[in-house]
Structure 1
Amino acid sequence: MSDSSPMRLPRRFVCFCLLPALLLGSSCARLRFFQPDARLSAEPLPAGTDSVTATAGRHYQQGLVKRLLFGQHYRRVWATPVRMPVLDLGTAVAGGLRPGKIGGGFQTTSMTLLGTRNREFALRSLDKDPFKTLPKAMRETFLLNIVRDATSAGNPYGAFVVPPLAQAAGIRHTSPRLFYVRPDENGLGPASERFRGKVVMLEEKLEGEQLPGSGGGRVDIEESEDMLAALYTQPGTQIDQTTFVRARLLDIWLGDWDRHEGQWTWEKRADGPRFSPVPKDRDQVFYRFDDGPLAWLGSRFVAKFRTFRPRYESIEGYTRNARFIDSRVLHELDWPAYRAETQRLQQRLTDSVITRAARRLPREVYAIEGPQLVASLQARRAALPTAARTYYQLLAERVTVPGTDEDELFEVQRLTDTTTVVSVYSLLDDKKGPLRYRRTFRPAETRQVMLHGLGGKDVFRLTGSVRRSPRIDIYGGPQEDTVQDSSRVAGLGKKTRFYDTRRNNVYEPGPETKDKRSHGVASHAFDRDGSGR
């Protein structure tokens, strides 16, 4: 997970974790929870040693009661001795590396390393410590032991499997590499002590950098908040939604449930501008959580903690963390687009691609997990159309259609009992300008469409007479807006609602319009970047 965005533990999960404390008796947090050195031997490491045998986290294998109650998870993988190279800053990448900024991670020990030609690399420990994610009052209690132990539900080497799969899918990706940091390492500056004796991954950063573009050009990489700011303030900004839905389907196939907006960067091209998704941080692929009685109960409390297995579990759970970014980016595509990208993935993710990717696990780990992983990925590939349909239906039920801070015309045409077309145009000198958005909604799929005018003087025009239609909620925004509703929908309940202030608006209601205006400005609030503001 992104070090800049900590995983906030749900209250229900915290309550669930308190149960074992009551069962096993109250206790304090273990002072020495983590292994002191990833190597099995405590002997000094000779100078010039280029590889060692180490474990990602053999401390997760301890405790029979814990394994019985919470499950085996990936404890065996964490404790398996793996042969891996020793990090040498002079030779790890061409031109060598030097220390940069120390990361402020909430769980992962991390820092930036600087290479030649302004290249930046992220150095991160495979193991995590969720100490800072807990309320301060709980950080010295038995609960910390339990939450720390939950790290064993993740496959420490899972991220190394993803690059060939992303490559085949046509998704930008990083290529992490596995290293061990010497117990006497001093080349990492002030962060040296934090990394000594740890198993780490090293990958080139794609944040705020430039990547080689097609045709030999360069493309900028921006964070989600910058992409979203451009989307709402710069008319003509476009998102490559088809690539994003393919990337999200890849996430679901991999069982990667932690794909919130902080887990994405965006490739920006000058023509438009146009943004294409670049995922990062693959810490939660192939998650295995509910293989013990208490862990199974916890997964019922917290839907996103779903186990990777041949069949899909809760698609809603897999996608819950990404609900905000999905709603902002995938608001235009209909089911045929999802179906086409699903078929494209099935064609590209061949058995040979899957097998080659699984072989990127350390040899010792592949012997334990490889065949099972390959079989699960093949089974999930076959079932991907059903999972994709469920995913589409979740997003289609309630759709947010935002405008920009410029003047716009929102047209809602209730054409038939099965089709309602929503279009958004630029308004230039009060005249209809270029089309910015269009989608056909069907009441069998969509219950509610929320139109947000944001800034600018916007016009909302609704027409048509039908028996069925999605409900249209209009949020005008802080400037003067106009609502013209001549539509009619048979049956009980009004199908158009207007939320705004009572002053400074032109309000021309029809039989379907329900006046939800108020004296306050709460209706002007719109979360632009996922912060909840």
Structure 2
Amino acid sequence: MTAGRHYKASGFHTIFFGRHYRQVWTTPVTVPVLNLQTTIAGGLRAGKLGGGFQSTSMTLLGNNGREYALRTLDKDPYKTLPPFLRKTFVLNLVRDATSAINPYGAFVVPPLAQAAGVLHTTPRLLYIRPDETGLGENAPRFQGKVALLEEKFDGKNNLTPAFGDAQDLQDSEDVLRARYQEPSFQFDQLAFARARLLDIWLGDWDRHEGQWQWAVYKEKGRTLYRPVPKDRDQVFYRFDDGLVPWLVSRPFIVGKLRTFKPHYENIPGLVKNARFIDERALNEVTDQQFQHLASELQTRLSDDVIQAALRHLPPPVYALEGERTAAFLRARRAALPAAARTYYRKLAHQVTIAGTDQPERFVVQRLTDSTTLVSLYALSDKAPLLYRRTFRTAETKLITLHGLGGEDVFEITGDVSRSIRVDIFGGPNPDTVKDTSHVRRGGKKTYYYDTRRGNTLEASATTRDKTHKGVQMHAYDREGD
């Protein structure tokens, strides 16, 4: 079969709209056939249809008690467009851009993730017969198509030995909700940083919060969330090889559509889709830690690992793309520390530190002209330390503190010539701000946003009082709503 023979195009068309992976989509490959009785031990039965915007997807229920996601490799962008564009030539142009995806790229990722120490799904490539009726009333949506089948890592029933002593598997929405309820719920930030460096190495630009599940662990009185990336459709993306996509992918137009090349192309654009989850799950990780992780990944992702992973491509596809992809991965591996530093600096430019709905104490110490120390303590349970990081004035321009719920205390101290601006958002409950710091140059460096009534502010010459009658400044997007 072929994954998408309709992506075949003339030379004239490719000049304007790109060669992309058209040859891969139109190359015949041998694919196992979905058999609902034998593909998964114990058998499968149809579940509910998925709600994805591009892939046609369905949950399959395993008689082993686990759940699986079946989704077509080809995309249909109809739902992603505004209604007034859905019946115009724009739909065909956007659909044609799907050829920028390597349809078999996701099958290369599991051995690379395994070597990197990142939890992962293990997708299978399958063909669905034109006469397959076991998928129920939605069978016509899948008949005659090539699809990907992978584990759904959601809920306790889907835990496997690979997760060790994990207690549960949750989606990002539930994890973010719990994270801001009370202090014992925390992201494993180093594990997430490792996973994000793997994303960058693979050129996977679509890593928003909906692309993650989280394994739940209990450690030393805390609940830790470790990332499980899913939906690896965009690895090895190839987009800017035609006049129109080259223009569209300029940083000032759609900067996130980065092409997988031997060098890293615009790291800020590559990570743009993950900005929301990155800001919330990477605010502790230092430059030194990113460099250590990058060096470690260089060792783990050896030439042999890369070559073995690429052999998961169908043989005709490996013949087309294997050696080139391997060369690109080796070149990107060599440059990974530099990419990690660029990524760190983007994250460090503006950092948000949020508390929880319990009372907490934020301590900001302007230590020197070049350093500011931020610490966060819970005001219960003998005030355990929840967060600590030293920021550098050369890297960070703004630190934003969110107290959220609870009666929080904010303390700012230090006498320096210059420092980082700190914005404080107290939250809906009564809060106390004590700013005794003195910054001699650069104007006001502590901004306090809250309601005027019910809060206590002890200001210095460095403080700007931004309190007023409204409550809109309390808004903090906790879950991506």
Q: TM-score, normalised by structure 1?
A: 0.88
Q: Which of 208, 214, 234 matches 1:260?
A: 208
Moved more, 450-459 or 265-274: 265-274
Q: Which amino acid aligns with 2:317?
A: V
| DSSP-derived class of the 1:273 partner | strand
2:322 aligned residue (370, 384, 388): 370
Q: 1:71 to 1:118 in 2, by over 3 A?
A: same
Q: CA deviation at 1:229?
A: 1.1
Matches within 5 A, 1:42-191: 54-191=1-138
Deviations 1:129-186 (A, max 9, x none): 0001111111111111100000000000000000000000011111111111111111
2: CA distance, partners of 1:350 / 1:251: 17
After the TM superposition, list the runs of 4 or more consecutive aligned residues in structure 1 that deviate by more than 6 angstroms. none
- Deviation of residue 477 (structure 1)? 0.4
Residue matched to 1:46: none
**Structure 2 CA distance for aligned equivalents of residues 213 and 448 of structure 1:** 43
Alignment partner, residue 446 of structure 1: 396
1:37 match: none
**Are residue 346 (structure 1) and residue 298 (structure 2) matched?**
yes
In structure 2, distance between residues paired with 1:143 and 1:215: 44
Aligned to 1:43: none
In the TM superposition, residue 73 of structure 1 has moved relative to its aligned partner by 0.3
Structure 1 residues without counterparts, runs of 5 or longer: 1-53
| Superposition CA RMSD, Å | 1.3
Residue 250 in 1 paired to residue 198 in 2?
Answer: yes
Q: Determine the C-alpha separation between the residues in 2 that align with 1:133 and 1:446.
A: 36
Q: How many angstroms does 1:419 deviate by? A: 1.4
1:428 to partner: Cα distance: 3.2
From 176, 182, 186, the counterpart of 1:238: 186
**Residue 218 (structure 1) shift:** 4.8
Preserved contact between residue 90 and residue 96 of structure 1 (Cα < 8 Å): yes
**What number of residue pairs does the alignment pair up?**
476
- Which residue of structure 2 lines up, in the alignment, with residue 410 of structure 1? 362
Residue aligned with 2:65, SS: coil
Between the aligned partners of 1:493 and 1:86, the Cα distance in structure 2 is: 68
Report how far residue 424 of structure 1 moved: 0.6
Once the two structures are TM-superposed, the CA of residue 63 in structure 1 deviates from its matched residue by 4.1
Code of the aligned partner of 1:417: D
Q: Do the aligned partners of 1:212 and 1:219 also contact (CA within 8 Å) in 2?
A: no
Letter in 2 for 1:293: L
Check conservation: 2:166, 2:215, Cα contact below 8 A: no
Instruction: Tell me which residue corresponds to 2:448.
Output: 498
Give the TM-score taking structure 2 as reference length.
0.97
- The CA deviation string for residues 468-524 of structure 1, in whole angstroms up to 9 with x for no partner, is 211000000001111100001111311100001111110110110001111111110
Contact 2:393 2:420 in 1 (8 A): yes
Query: Who is 1:471 aligned against?
Result: 421
Aligned counterpart, 1:38: none
After the TM superposition, which residues 202-213 of structure 1 pair with which residues of structure 2 at under 5 Å, given as runs?
A: 202-209=149-156, 210-212=158-160
In structure 2, relative to structure 1, the CA distance for the partners of 1:207 and 1:63 (3 Å cut) is farther
Q: Which residue of 1 aligns with 2:433?
A: 483
Alpha-carbon displacement from aligned partner over 1:348-372 (angstroms, at most 9, x marks no partner): 0000000001111100000000000
Per the alignment, do residues 69 and 414 of structure 1 end up closer, same or farther by CA in structure 2, a change over 3 Å counting? same
Cα distance change on mapping 1:108 and 1:214 into 2, 3 Å: closer
Shift of 1:213: 5.0
Q: Give per-residue Cα distances to partners, 1:175-208, cap 9 Å, x unaligned.
A: 1111111111111111211111000111111123
- Structure 2 contact 213–230 (Cα < 8 Å) conserved: yes
- Given that 2:357 and 2:404 are in contact with CA atoms closer than 8 Å, whether structure 1 keeps it comes out as yes
- Mapped to 2, the partners of 1:125 and 1:440 lie a distance apart of 47
Residue 412 of structure 2: SS of its match in structure 1?
Answer: strand
Q: Which moves more between the two structures, 266-275 or 298-307?
A: 266-275
**Equivalence for 1:287:** 237
Amino acid of the residue matched to residue 441 of structure 1? F
1:55 and 1:157 map into 2 onto residues whose CA distance is 11
Is contact 1:212-1:218 (8 Å) kept?
Answer: no
Tell whether the 8 Å contact from 2:47 to 2:58 is kept in structure 1 after alignment: yes
Q: 212-221 or 298-307: which moved more? A: 212-221
CA offset at residue 214 of structure 1? Answer: 7.2
Measure the CA separation in 2 of the matches of 1:219 and 1:367.
Answer: 43
* CA-CA distance at 1:114 after TM superposition: 1.1
Deviates more, 1:61-70 or 1:158-167: 61-70
Pairing partner for 1:401 from 341, 353, 358: 353
Partner Cα separation in structure 1 for residue 103 and residue 16 of structure 2: 21
How big is the shift at 1:238? 1.9
CA distance in 1, matches of 2:272, 2:293: 21
Structure 2 unmatched runs, 5+: none
Structure 2 match to 1:318: 270
> Counterpart of 1:72 in 2: which secondary structure?
coil
Give me the whole-angstrom Cα distance separating, in 1, the residues matched to 2:163 and 2:115: 20
Task: Classify the secondary structure of the residue corresponding to 1:146.
Answer: helix
> Could you tell me which residue of structure 2 aligns to residue 34 of structure 1?
none
Deviation per CA, 1:75-116: give whole Å up to 9, x if none.
000000001111111110111111111112211111011112
1:78/1:120 CA distance change after superposition, 3 Å: same
What is the CA-CA distance between 1:64 and the residue it aligns to? 3.9
Q: 1:217 to 1:328 in 2, by over 3 A?
A: closer
Change (3 A) 1:492 1:470: closer
Partner of residue 275, structure 1: 225
- Contact 1:310 / 1:379 at 8 angstroms: preserved in 2? yes
Give the structure 1 partner of residue 143 of structure 2.
196
